[in-house]
Structure 1
Amino acid sequence: MQEHIRQLFSENIQTMIAAGESLSGSLENAALVIVHNLVSGGKVICCGDGATAGLASHFAQLLLDKFETDRPCLPALALQQYSNSLQQHQQHDYLARQIKALGQNNDVLLVVSASGSEPSLIKAVEAALTNDMKIVALTVDGNVELSGLLNQQDVELKVPAHRPARIFECFTFILHSLCEVIELTLFPQQGDV
């Protein structure tokens, strides 16, 4: 069993190395898109589906409060998940309806997708595009449907992993890294303390 545990750590490390090599430029671009829109008076709207909704909520909270440095609050919110009482067609539209109501053309939608084929997230991205919002998408290899919706102005952070545990570990690290780069860009003095 201990050998298996060591293998889990090794697999995580290898996934992180691969992600670092393939995503550093995209991560920088994603941070700059968010920073530019925040400076322009926009906000970050975050969403996921199922377990990834928790990651989206975590990211929004880090922007609102702080990541590692004391700094002013940044405008961010996580969209609410649907309730079980909604009918099936309403469940898929629930995130999109919130984006239609709250999203503006100077906002960024940060979407966290574990498969790239979640109907609610695809509809959310479509709604964001209709509202002329920029999109930062955390996705996985083989994610064709959601990836195909993105424009040249959007940023995709495609994790080079296939096991759900490694994907979620990598998503968490990417979101923390994104927060740190945003903080260092907007508040470089606080990052030096």
Structure 2
Amino acid sequence: MDDRVFDHFRESVKVKEASAVLAPAVAAAARLMAQSLSKGAKILSCGNGGSAADAQHFSSELLNRFERERPPLPAVALTTDSSTLTSISNDYDYAEIFAKQIHALGRPGDVLLAISTSGNSENVRRGIGAAHRQGVAVVALTGRDGGSIAAELADTDIELRVPAERTCRIQEVHLLIIHCLCDSIDEALYGHQ
């Protein structure tokens, strides 16, 4: 049992070290989000399962605070309204749960944080398509080979693809990226204070 636990720690460290190559793209994503927020736009976020929890985590760090006192920042996790999610799933299709919300809430200048460890979440992929139609920029957190989401992204979008296969390792790096985004956004908007 001890060796198995140690192996998890070792593998996590290796994946994080390999993912450090993403730092420039993470910084670019943070700049995009900070510019959007500075112009009065908002950040939308979506994902399924653990990625839904990550979307909510990111939104809460912006709406409340990350590590410094600052005004709340506009962010909406599209994963939290059970009535909306179940009505869209029931009346239309589960694959439409994010796209329909983005059509209603997304405005040019907003940013969508789209999270899928496999890169193959159909509802996230359709949400990206809706974001493009609404003039919403996309930052995608993926893993493995980027899946169908990688093919959906526009040249102006930013993909942060974790170089790993295991879902748990990808999720660990996604959380690190989310914390980097929060810290960088705060520094960009409030670093002088």
Using structure 2 for the length normalisation, give the TM-score: 0.93
**What code does the residue aligned with 1:79 have?**
L
* Alpha-carbon shift at residue 74 of structure 1 (Å): 0.6
Counterpart residue number, 1:29 = 28
1:130-183 residue CA offsets vs partner (Å, 9 max, x unmatched): 001100000012123101111121111000111111111111111011100111
Question: Residues 83 and 24 of structure 1: is their aligned pair in 2 closer, same or farther, counting only changes over 3 Å?
Answer: same
Distance 2:11 2:135 in 1: 39
Distance 1:56 1:80 in 2: 7
Counterpart residue number, 2:192 = 189
2:178 aligned with 1:179, yes or no?
no
* Alpha-carbon shift at residue 117 of structure 1 (Å): 1.2
Coordinate RMSD, CA, aligned:
1.6
2:51 aligned with 1:49, yes or no?
no
Distance 2:40 2:24 in 1: 25
Distance 1:32 1:75 in 2: 16
CA contact (8 A) 2:47 2:79 kept: no
* Alpha-carbon shift at residue 93 of structure 1 (Å): 0.7
1:29-52 residue CA offsets vs partner (Å, 9 max, x unmatched): 000110111112110001112221
2:15 aligned with 1:15, yes or no?
yes
Distance 2:97 2:171 in 1: 23
Among all aligned residue pairs of Structure 1 and Structure 2, give the percentage whose two residues are the same amino acid.
34
Unaligned runs of 5+ in 2: none
* Alpha-carbon shift at residue 189 of structure 1 (Å): 3.2
Distance 1:124 1:85 in 2: 13
Question: Residues 11 and 187 of structure 1: is their aligned pair in 2 closer, same or farther, counting only changes over 3 Å?
Answer: same
Using structure 1 for the length normalisation, give the TM-score: 0.93
Counterpart residue number, 2:116 = 113
1:74-98 residue CA offsets vs partner (Å, 9 max, x unmatched): 1101003622893385211111000
Counterpart residue number, 1:148 = 151
Name whichever of 72-81 and 105-114 sits farther off.
Answer: 72-81
Unaligned runs of 5+ in 1: none
Distance 1:131 1:111 in 2: 15
CA contact (8 A) 2:118 2:147 kept: no
Counterpart residue number, 1:99 = 102
1:97-156 residue CA offsets vs partner (Å, 9 max, x unmatched): 000000001100001111111111111000000001100000012123101111121111
